[in-house]
Structure 1
Amino acid sequence: MEKIGKTKEVAKGIYQIEIPTPFPVGPVNVYLLEGAYLTLVDTGPLTEEAWQTLNQGVRDIGYKVKDIRQVVLTHHHPDHCGLLERVRQVSGAFTYSHPLAIPYVKIDDSFMNFQAKFFNRLYYECGVPEESLIIINEFNDLSMSYTERSHIDECLKHDQALPHFPDWHVLFTPGHSQSQLSLYRADDRVMISGDHIIKHISSNALIEPPPNPSSKRPLSLIQYRTSLEMCANMEIDIIFSGHGAPVINHRDLILQRLLENWKRTDTIRGLLKESEKTVYELTTMLFPNVYQKELTLPISETLGHIDLLQILHQLEVKQRNEVLYYSL
């Protein structure tokens, strides 16, 4: 069989397999950790091309998918967990994730209904037009077609050792996702970051619903900044990301991300000096070439900066017909 993916050893006992995805972000990197328990970190999306690429990549390393003993998810997005159930069915692997990934991996009906209502209300408050809401819902339905119901056997906590890999520790690095985990090996100062830190793009701090209706919405951008600052204080020589090339000089990249973040906050301040605006109006001005294609991502970005300005007590908020209008 012709090799259809890029597979290589990137560090001692760590193999990277590049898996194609149908998403604009491009290929996703999954990682195979050699040891007493052969471990797969992330799986790729639920497509036949991704499945064949994963199988070929594992064979190139000298194993078969059935040899995988455990799977660790860095987070619950379909490009990272869509093939989990196929891997489980073939290998019987034990599965791990952050607890907040569970309802997404299970595709829990009650949580999915709650999530749909949460976003419909949120986008209405943001001033998103009805025709755009239809496009968002269609995009979300399409994304969910690249995953299927699966199961998590055990949850991972911040700073615990990875099961069967005492030299690896789990880090909770929320922001891009509420379930985002990273793995760190202190011996050679290596990190596997999922989508927390990516070299060529700034990770989008996606708005997600709280774990239950009685909780407040997580402040994703604030979490993302805090998680970046935590990693900036760590001794890391190389970061293997969920997408793209490895990250060297992580502190320089993190500083760049934080500075870019503040610049966008300042841009929003400037726009709000002119007149009051909804989150949707701000989004169309900040991302004129993007918002019509992938509205959920820029809406999350804009709303994250609104959260930051509200924490700084720099905004006034007015509500008219359940739509929120912001001004300085």
Structure 2
Amino acid sequence: MTEKKVRWGILATGGIAAAFTADLVDLPDAEVVAVASRSQESADAFAERFGIGRAYGEWGALAADEDIDVVYVATPHSAHRAAAGLCLEAGRNVLCEKAFTLNAREAEELVALAKGRGSFLMEAMWMYCNPVIRKLKGLVADGAIGEVRSVQADFGLAGPFPPAHRLRDPLQGGGALLDLGVYPVSFAHLLLGEPSDLTARAVLSDEGVDLQTGALLSWESGALASVHCSIIGGTATSASVTGSLGRIDLPSGFFHPDHFVLHRDGRDPEKFLADPADGPRSTLRHEATEVMRALRAGETESPLVPLDGTLAVMRTLDAIRERVGVRYPMEAASEDHT
């Protein structure tokens, strides 16, 4: 794999799968060789759109395809455990969309599967792979703003989304938190690690999913993070991190920024811009590039998106859902079965 192209399989054919595949086909060291959907018609249409050689009408055939180096799982998060698990059990390496799973228990199962088989596994948290975010993290780690005191991040969509939409559907893990809130929570984790405690409030829909959620995370250091997500109001979708010696502000679309501004006490603000060579801010290619780098290096996880970090984020999301009273039907069914 050190010299040949990395061969990708795409599992699911929705919007995020299309966006990721569009970026993949532009990478000279990547090749998309197969796609799978629960519908043969959908798989065929996706394959024709992107010039993919093999189209499967069920997931198992893709998982069994030994001509694939890594599978990108792009189903709704309610199906991540089943889809990624199927691929890992078949010996495939996996890049799995976020939220990584429905809950921490499912995430732990996937991590155990990957480690048991020596397979690569990574959450598709593209924010962590973004060069601007990586620069920000480095500055914070080097003490550019001193000791981190607080983090703020929000992600809200105006909607309205009808009850039949996947964001309102409990059977698809609907609600603002797992779909959007995973970004603010992951941003706080990136800078501060797993919180020691949290409080949370939410507005729930008639279906029992969260329409908007706010949480205050706290750490033993005294740092706090305020995170908010919504599917009933379009927010600024911005973020900031404040330290004892200054502050860094991220603009709207903080999870794929093209710049940030560093404010240090006693100095003029400094604007850090994305390198034009890194491509447009909306690209998903940075996470694909990181996966391929790791595979060529023989690594089973990425240092940019470590599995322990993914598990920690899932524990925080679980804790927030517990506080606000969101529980999905399949979680109860799974617990009853066990």
TM-score w.r.t. the length of structure 1 is 0.31
